[in-house]
Amino acid sequence: MALEWIHLLAAFGGGLFAAAIGTLPSFVFTGLLVLVGVAVSAAGGGTDVLTHVAFGPVFGPHIAFGGGAAATAYAFRRGYVASGRDISLPLMGLNRPDALLVGGAFGAIGFLLELAWRMVGLGPRTDTIAMTVVISAMIARVLFGRSGLASRQFRPDESRNWVRHQERPSQCAVIGLGVGLLSAFMAITLGPEGGGDVIGFGIAATSLVFAQFGLKVPVTHHMALPAAAAAISSGDFLMGPVFGIVGAFAGEGFSRVFHQHGDTHVDPPAAGIALTMVLVRLLWPLPIP
């Protein structure tokens, strides 16, 4: 029990720190630490970096990204920032401690939600971290946004979109194919014991550092993670590119219903991962504890 309280307090700190440095920068750190954790694991050092740092209270997306996104939504509602969707913005510069505290609160909420999903048995059925990112963002939208959860206008345009250079079906299919091939190759080659299940995700997340600088890079972690999971679970390399494409369209589809019209950030890649991983686990179930 004491260790759980330590985790909860650390999650508060993780959400607060992510709000301070910015939601997207915190996710880039997630990617970097996934790569560090894979290297440590492959060298025989165990999985503690992956479990407790990259996907835990420090930079776990359900804690850091979720906390940062909620803090940005709060800052928008309070009039501190012009957009609740600007996840590149570090909030420390606002000189508003209340916004950082909201990030901390949502970091703790993310920890508790993800723990609850696993306790009720959802762990083997989807990616509970990704699911938590989505639900946390929806809670923040309801609390701090004004646009409502879902859209009645599903066609992107210049004022309503997610990643403009990635929204065309041909773009989705091609990038999903390429990322799926790469992630599946690493997954099959390294295996889960060598970090093959998450190295593609780490590379994709780290690549978003270029998006922070305004470059038109693709957003691909919702393609890489399901591709690796499908390739490993099925034992078939070709399932990787198939699920890379499925993940690409799942993320884009979710963005058109829940994100592009909204005034706060509800993460399409997290939804793409959660939805696609449900399909992976239906086709190749994990043992239920």
* Chain segment 207-247, per-residue pLDDT in tens: 999 999 999 999 999 999 999 999 999 999 999 999 999 99
Which pLDDT belongs to residue 289? 59
Question: Residue 9: pLDDT above 50?
Answer: yes
Distance CA 106, CA 72 (A): 11
The pair phi, psi for residue 133, each rounded to 5°, is: -55, -45
Q: Which residues of 156-168 are buried (b: 16+ CB within 10 A; e: fewer)?
A: beeebbbbeebbe
Residue with tokens 């260790």: 3
Q: Is 36 exposed, middle or buried (0-12, 13-18, 19+ CB in 10 A)?
A: middle
Which pLDDT belongs to residue 2? 45
Query: For the chain, how many structural domains are there in total?
Result: 1
Q: Is 217 exposed, middle or buried (0-12, 13-18, 19+ CB in 10 A)?
A: middle
The answer to whether residue 270 sits within a structural domain is yes
264 SS3 class: strand
Identify the helix (H) or strand (E) that includes residue 167.
Answer: none
Mean pLDDT of 126-139: 97
Confidence of residue 287 (pLDDT cuts 50, 70, 90): confident
The answer to whether residue 48 sits within a structural domain is yes
The answer to whether residue 2 sits within a structural domain is no
Average pLDDT over the chain, rounded to an integer: 95
**Cβ distance 192 to 228 under 8 Å?**
no
The pair phi, psi for residue 84, each rounded to 5°, is: -85, 0
Distance CA 258, CA 113 (A): 20
Give the pair of three-digit tokens for residue 193. 């014991």
Mean pLDDT of 179-183: 98
* DSSP summary character for residue 94: G
Which pLDDT belongs to residue 3? 58
% of the chain surpassing 90 pLDDT: 90
Which pLDDT belongs to residue 151? 82
Q: What is the pLDDT of residues 145-157, one digit of tens each?
A: 999 898 877 889 8
Give the pair of three-digit tokens for residue 267. 């993460």
Which pLDDT belongs to residue 159? 83
Range of the domain at 41: 7-283
Question: Residue 144: pLDDT above 70?
Answer: yes
Which pLDDT belongs to residue 288? 65
User: Residue 161 half-sphere exposure, CB side, CA atoms within 13 Å?
Assistant: 10
Mean pLDDT of 75-79: 97
The answer to whether residue 1 sits within a structural domain is no
Confidence of residue 1 (pLDDT cuts 50, 70, 90): very low
User: Residue 104 half-sphere exposure, CB side, CA atoms within 13 Å?
Assistant: 12
Mean pLDDT of 137-162: 91
